[in-house]
Structure 1
Amino acid sequence: MPDAASSHPSSARQPAVQTAAFCAIDFGTSNSAIALPDDGGVHLVEVEPGQRTMPTSVFYTMEGQPPHADPRRLYGRAALAAYVDGVEGRLMRSMKSVLGSPLIEQGTDVGAGRSVRFLDVIAGYLKHLKSLAEAEAGGPLRRAVLGRPVFFVDDDPVRDAQAQAALEAAARLVGFDEISFQFEPIAAALDYESTTDHEQLVLVADIGGGTSDFSVVRVGPQRAAQIERAGDILASHGVHVAGTDFDRQVELSAILPLAGFKALGPPPSAREVPSKVYFDLATWHLINTVYTPQRVMELRRMKTFYADTQLHTRLMAVVDERLGHALMGEAEGAKIAVAEGRPAHIDLDAVEPRLSTTLGEAQAMAALEADLARIVKAGVETVRLAGVTPERIEAVYLTGGSTGLAPLATRIAAPFANARTVRGDRLASVAQGLGLHAQRVFR
C-alpha cells in the first residue's frame, strides 16, 4: 500500500502571509475543496459564492475568444452551467478517474483544433483551487496535503503508484514544492477520532455522487498523533452506485413515465416503446446526445409507436425545449424532499401546462431498493474483508452528500448492532480531516 504521508501546507483566515503557509486539498471525483489553517484549527475556503465545495468540472470553450487565443476555462458550477446551456465546448468531469491510466499523458480535444493533456487539465483545476486559497491566505502556498483513495486502481499496485505520482506531478506543476498524501477514509475518521477516549474500530461510509466507499479504520487517542496511518485501514471496498444513480431512479420512476417511459404501443401488439431515450435523459452525461439533429429526427418518427400519442408529444417537448437537465434537477429535488420526510410535488409545467406529479416515500424507496441493497451489502462485505465480526464495529461514520438520505443511513448502520451512528459534515469532512493532518505534518 502506498505511503500515506510526506509533507504539505495550508494558510490562515486572515489576509496575511503566513511563515509556514500550507493547505490541504480534497480532489474528489465529484466535488473538491481546499482547507487552510486558522487559530481554531482549519477551515474550508469559499471556492464559489457561499460554497465550500465545488464540482470537479472544467469547461473549455472558444466562444467569444479570438481565433488564435487559448480556450477559455470555466470551473465548478460555472462549467456545468455552460454545458447545460449548450455553450459550444468540452466539459471535463471525473478527471480523477484518469489517474493511473495511460491517458494521463495523452491529449484530449477541447475544440477549435486545440488539444490539452489530461495531466494539464487536472493541474489547471488544482491551480484554480490554489489561487482561491492564496487570495484568502494573502500569500503563496508551497506545501500541501492531498487526499487519495486507498486504491486509485484496484488490484494493480504499479498503476496505483503511477496514479499517485501523476497527482503529485500535477500539484508540482502548479507550484507546490512539498507534497504529502493521506488516505481519504483516514481523513474522514480524524474528526471522529478527536472525540474518542479509547481505541476502537469505525466503519467509514463515504456515499458520494458516483461511488459508495467503505473502510474499516482503527482510531484512538494513542494513534491520533501518528503521521503514518496506512496500517490503521483494515479493509476498503465499494460500489459504483451513489447519489446520481438515486436521481436517475427517481426520474425513471416518477417523471419520465409521464413522457412515455414504459408506455405501450397501439394494439394488437401493444409492445413497450423503446426505452433508450429515457435512460439517456436520466443519465447526466448522456442528456445532450438526445438533442443532436439526427436523434431528434429519429424520435419524431417514433410517434406511431405510442398508443397514447400525448406521451410522445410530451417527450418531444422535453427534447425540443432541452429540458433534460431541468428534469434531473426536479428528480434531485424530489429525492431531497423525501429524504427530509415530506412528499415531493414535482412541477412539470415546462413540459405541458398544469402537468405535475408527486413522489412519496414508499414510491421513492421502491425505486431505490436495488441500489440501496447493493450499498448496504458493500458495507457488510467491507467488515468481512477486515476479518472482524460486525459486533466489533463501535461506530459507523457517515460522510458524503448522499448520506443525507435518512433511510440509506439507517440501513447502512443496521447490521452493526453495537455501533453508534455518527454523522460528519456530508460534503466537507474529508477536506477538514486532511487539514487536520496537514497541521500535524507541517507544524
Structure 2
Amino acid sequence: MIVGFDYGSANCSVGIWENEQVKLLPLSVDSNYLPSTLYAMDRELIAEAVYAGLPDKLKAEYSHLRSSQLMRAKQIRHELDLLTDEQVVFVGQSAIEAYLEMPEEGFYVRSPKSFLGATGLRPEQVALFEDIVTLMMMHVKQLLDQQLIAKGLPCATHAMIGRPVNFQGIGGEQSNQQAEAILTLAAKRAGFSDVGFLFEPLAAGMDFESTLVDAANVLVVDVGGGTTDCSLVKMGPDLMVAGQRDKDCLGHSGQRIGGNDLDIALAMQGFMPSFGSGSKMLDGKPMPSNLFWNAVAVNDISAQRDFYQLASKKLIEVLIKESQTPHMINRLLILQQNQMSFQLVRQAELAKIALTQAPQHQTYLDFIEDDFSVEVSAKQFEQAITPSLDKVSQLMQQAMTCVDIDGKRFNSPDIVYITGGTARSPAIYNQIANVYPDAKVVVGDHFGSVTAGLTRWAQQYFKVT
C-alpha cells in the first residue's frame, strides 16, 4: 500500500488514495493528527522500545549497534522497579500527558524533526534521534496498518515523506543529507520497504493544483511548526499528470523559522519579564539575558543542556540574593529545578493560538506558583515575532529570484498559496499577503495540504520508479 506521510515538526499525519481521492486516516482520538512528541522515563529505555518493535530480521544488527543502551535499559528497569512489560515510552498526546505528570523525572522531546539537521551532533546523539524517529514512525505505522487491515487493504509498504527545503540553514546540504538519512533509516526500521521524499511546499502546492482550471505561477508559502518553506511552481490541470515535475519547480527557499520559534519569541517577550528578564540587580546592573533565553529555547539542544546544568542553578541562586525583585528570579529557579521549559513554551503556543481570535489572552502559569498568571496581547505577539516575519518575507522574495524558460525574471507570482498551521495567525497572514499585493492570495488547509499532496504524488512516483 502506498501512503503519504507528513512527519511534521508539530504533528504527524498519513494519507491514502481511496476512491480516486485523498483520505487522511485518524492517528489520535477524534483527530487525523498525532502530536510530534515523545516521553520516556529514561532516554536509554527508548532503544529498548525500538528493539521490541523491530521485525526479527533486524534485531540482531540493531542489538549489536545499541548493545550498551540495551544493557543500561535493563539496569534502569531494575533501579526504577519497573515490570518487564510496563510501558515506559509514550508517543503523541500520551507523551504530553506523561510529561505534564512527571516533568522533572523523565526525558521529553517535542518536535524532534527540528533537530535532525543540527550541526555538530555526536554519533550517540544521531543514534538517539534515529531511535526517537523510529519509535514515532513505528507507532504511526501500527495505527495505519490496523486501519488498512480493517478496510481489507494490504499494510503500508511505500511512503512518500515530506521534507523542508532546508532542515537547518547553517548546515546547508550536509544537514539535509543527515536529516534524510535519519528519516530513511527510521522509516525502514518501522517497516516501510521503500521511501521517497518531496519538498513540503511542493506537496502543499500539488494538492492546491487539483483545484485549478487554468495554468498559473504559484508561490507556495508553507509556514510550519519548525520551518518556513517557499516554492514557485508552474501549475495547471494539464501538468498534473506529468511523471516528473522538476522543470515546473522554478524556485525554492527555506529556513528553520516556524511555529516553534514564534512560541519561543512570545515566551521570551511575554513571559520572561515575570521571571526577572529585564529586571535590575541591587547594583543597578541588568540581569544576564542569556540565562532567560536558554530557559525557553526548547529547540536548541545546547541551550537547554546549559540551562539545566548545576552551574545554572547556582547562578540563579546567586541572582536571587542580588536581585531587586528576588521573587521573580525565584520563579526562574522553580522552572530550572523542575525542568518545565517545555510546559512554559507550550503555554506560549496556546496563547499564540488564542490570540488569533482575541486581542488579549490571560495565561495561567500555576504550575510555577499558585495564582500566577501573565496577560499577553496580539500587539505584543506581533512585536515579538517581527524578526521572524521579516525572514519569512525574505524567503518569499528569495524563491522568486529565478528565471522562466525565456530567461525573464518574475516580478510577482499569479497566486500566493498559504498553508501550514502557523499561518493561521492574522499577523503572519498579513505579512505574507503584503509582500506581493498584486497577487491573488489563497489560504489552504493549514494542516492537511502537505499530507494530501504527498499522497497524490506518491501514487505517480512509486509507479514510475
**Normalising by structure 1, what TM-score?**
0.80
Match of 2:432 among 397, 409, 412: 412
Cα distance in structure 2, aligned partners of 1:185 and 1:308: 47
TM-superposed deviation, 1:209: 1.9
State, as a whole percentage, how many aligned pairs show the same letter: 24
| Residue of structure 2 in register with 1:425 after alignment | 445
- Counterparts of 2:338 and 2:158 in 1: how far apart (Å)? 48
The residue number in structure 1 matching 2:415 is 395
1:196 to 203, 212, 216: 212
Residue 436 (1) aligns with residue 447 (2): no
What is the distance in 2 between the residues matched to 1:347 and 1:157? Answer: 42
Change (3 A) 1:181 1:308: closer
Could you tell me whether the CA contact under 8 Å between 1:186 and 1:229 is conserved in 2? no
Offset at residue 300 of structure 1 (A):
1.5
Instruction: Provide the C-alpha distance between the structure 2 equivalents of 1:238 and 1:424, rounded to a whole number of angstroms.
Output: 19
CA–CA separation in structure 2 for the residues paired with 1:122 and 1:161:
16
Q: Could you tell me how far apart the structure 2 residues matched to 1:33 and 1:261 are?
A: 38
Letter matched to residue 244 of structure 1: N
Consecutive unaligned residues in structure 2, runs of 5 or more: 46-72
Q: Which residue of 1 aligns with 2:341?
A: 324
Which residue of the other structure, out of 290, 312, 323, is the alignment partner of 1:276? 290
Distance 1:92 1:323, change over 3 A: closer
| Counterpart for residue 374 of structure 2 | 357
Could you say if the C-alpha distance between residues 349 and 77 of structure 1 is closer, same or farther in structure 2, counting changes exceeding 3 Å?
closer
Task: Tell me what 1:234 maps to.
Answer: 250
Partner of 1:210: 226
Matched, 1:223 2:254: no
CA contact (8 A) 1:247 1:331 kept: yes
Task: Give the secondary structure class of the aligned counterpart of 1:48.
Answer: coil
Distance 2:429 2:121 in 1: 36
Q: Please say if residues 399 and 425 of structure 1, whose CA atoms lie closer than 8 Å, have aligned partners that are also in contact.
A: yes
Q: Given residue 199 of structure 2, which amino acid in structure 1 is its aligned partner?
A: F
**Does the C-alpha gap of structure 1 residues 218 and 346 become closer, same or farther in structure 2, counting only changes over 3 Å?**
same
Which residue identity does 1:415 align to in structure 2?
V
**d(CA) in 1 for partners of 2:255, 2:439:** 22
- Corresponding residue for residue 378 of structure 1: 395
Match of 1:36 among 9, 13, 16: 16
Query: Contact 2:167/2:227 (CA < 8 Å) preserved in 1?
Result: no
Q: Structure 1, unaligned stretches of length 5 or more?
A: 1-20, 110-115
CA distance in 2 between counterparts of 1:146 and 1:108 reads 23
Secondary structure (helix, strand or coil) at the match of 1:203 reads strand
Q: 1:4-57: CA deviations, max 9, x gaps?
A: xxxxxxxxxxxxxxxxx3212122344322112223612222222233222444
CA deviation after TM superposition for structure 1 residue 415, in Å: 2.1
Aligned to 1:137: 148
SS state at 2:26 partner: coil
Q: CA deviation at 1:356?
A: 3.3
What is the TM-score with the length of structure 2 in the denominator? 0.77
How far 1:163 moved relative to its partner?
5.9
Deviates more, 1:418-427 or 1:379-388: 379-388
The residue that corresponds to 1:6 in the other structure is none
Secondary structure of 2:141 counterpart: helix
Q: What is the CA–CA distance in structure 1 between the aligned matches of 2:267 and 2:414, rounded to whole Å?
A: 37
- Assess if the C-alpha contact under 8 Å between 1:100 and 1:161 holds in 2: no
**Which amino acid is the alignment partner of residue 188 of structure 2?**
R
- The CA deviation string for residues 98-124 of structure 1, in whole angstroms up to 9 with x for no partner, is 4798979x4449xxxxxx575454444
Shift of 1:93: 4.9
d(CA) in 2 for partners of 1:291, 1:162: 27
CA distance, structure 1, for counterparts of residue 159 and residue 166 of structure 2: 20
Change (3 A) 1:56 1:414: same
1:78 to 81, 91, 94: 94
Higher helix share: 2
Q: Label 1:65 to 1:337 Cα distance change in 2 as closer, same or farther (>3 A).
A: same
Residue type at the aligned position of 2:29? P
1:94 to 112, 117, 122: 112
